[in-house]
Amino acid sequence: MEQKNIMEYDTVSLKDQEDGVAIIDQTKLPGEIQVILLKTADEIWDAIYQLKVRGAPAIGVAAAFGIYVLAKQIHTKEYPVFLEEFQKHKRYLDSARPTAVNLSWALGRMEEVVKRQKDRPVEEIKELLKEEAVCIQEEDIQVCKSIGEFGLTLLKPGDGILTHCNAGKLAAVRYGTATAPIYLGQERGYGFRVFADETRPLLQGARLTAFELASSGVDVTLICDNMSGAVMKNGWVNAVFVGCDRVAANGDTANKIGTSVVAAVAKQYGVPFYVAAPTATIDLNTLTGEDIVIEQRDPKEVTAMWYQAPMAPEGVKVFNPAFDVTSHTLIDGIVTEYGIARPPYETSLREIFDRKKKK
């Protein structure tokens, strides 16, 4: 049987009748499109930690569906017992990845449903949790499309766009964040030329971004991370669009390791650098990037993961942070579903949330 195009699959979906969450196992891409069903707390935690599901929006949706599936497995009619077990699951899932704020945001939103409905029967609370999780999924689709519309105003037909890591459909439910203007432009005949950083050490740009863009018919060129300066110097890049996992109140952003290097190079060559950020990713309680906890990953991701034999001396020290922080001074705009924030970000990000409250 002919395999479907990757764009025809849902990144994350609820399989309620099967008591599970279905995800594309992104560790298998691009060689194999494998959809797996997550049913237990350990399976959901592992899928998030091992990057089987990844990207801030997709992690949030997976967490919402996951905590609902786990809530269904709590067999009690007593609200205090249900709440205690629910919060155990929440704390456990929340520990999977510390940097991506969407994980704690989605789990917190689900917990609020439980707390607000404490006078209802437990079975009704479970149904309300399902409704909230589906709502989070549907909101993500609309949020990404809105980001795409605002992002498209920063571009013109034929532009060259550079992106780092994967903030595409595979990192969300649909459209993605940083790729949303690319996909909308593709639909409208803009003819963008995209340069995708391979994104060491986990190669999300090579395995995921280049894969999904090529599958969509986008003109995409894969480059090594250390080639970004060359393509910018050549005048091939008109804008950089990246996603992020957390935005601090001052506009500092945490994104996949190497993003800050791209931002510095873009500043050097006068290329505008934009961050696509759903408001769920903006954390006004985190004052600056210095306050963002950066996840440290397994050294083997650098030394051995992609090689038939280790490509570094045995026992060598490895520094392998999953993310770095890009200073707000290097960012020309933060594109949200409620508009584009510009410096000074302490003011403009709060204005974005004011617009959100009014809608």
Mean pLDDT of 90-97: 96
Mean pLDDT of 55-77: 96
Residue 282 neighbours by CB under 8 Å, 6+ apart: 101, 247, 334, 336, 349, 352, 353
Question: Measured between alpha carbons, how far is 231 from 302 in angstroms, rounded to an integer?
Answer: 25
Question: Measured between alpha carbons, how far is 70 from 42 in angstroms, rounded to an integer?
Answer: 11
pLDDT greater than 80 at residue 200? yes
Question: Measured between alpha carbons, how far is 90 from 94 in angstroms, rounded to an integer?
Answer: 6
Report pLDDT for 101. 86
pTM of the model: 0.92
Active-site residue set = 245
Mean pLDDT of 64-77: 98
**Encoded tokens for 187:** 């639909």
pLDDT greater than 60 at residue 1? no
Task: Identify the band that residue 359 occupies on the pLDDT scale cut at 50, 70 and 90.
Answer: confident
Domains of the chain: residue spans and CATH: 6-143 (1.20.120.420), 148-358 (3.40.50.10470)
Mean pLDDT of 217-222: 98
Beta-ladder partners of 324: 255
pLDDT greater than 90 at residue 94? yes
Report pLDDT for 98. 84
pLDDT greater than 60 at residue 2? no
Report pLDDT for 174. 84
pLDDT greater than 60 at residue 111? yes
Ramachandran angles phi, psi of 256, nearest 5°: -50, 140
- What average pLDDT does the chain have? 96
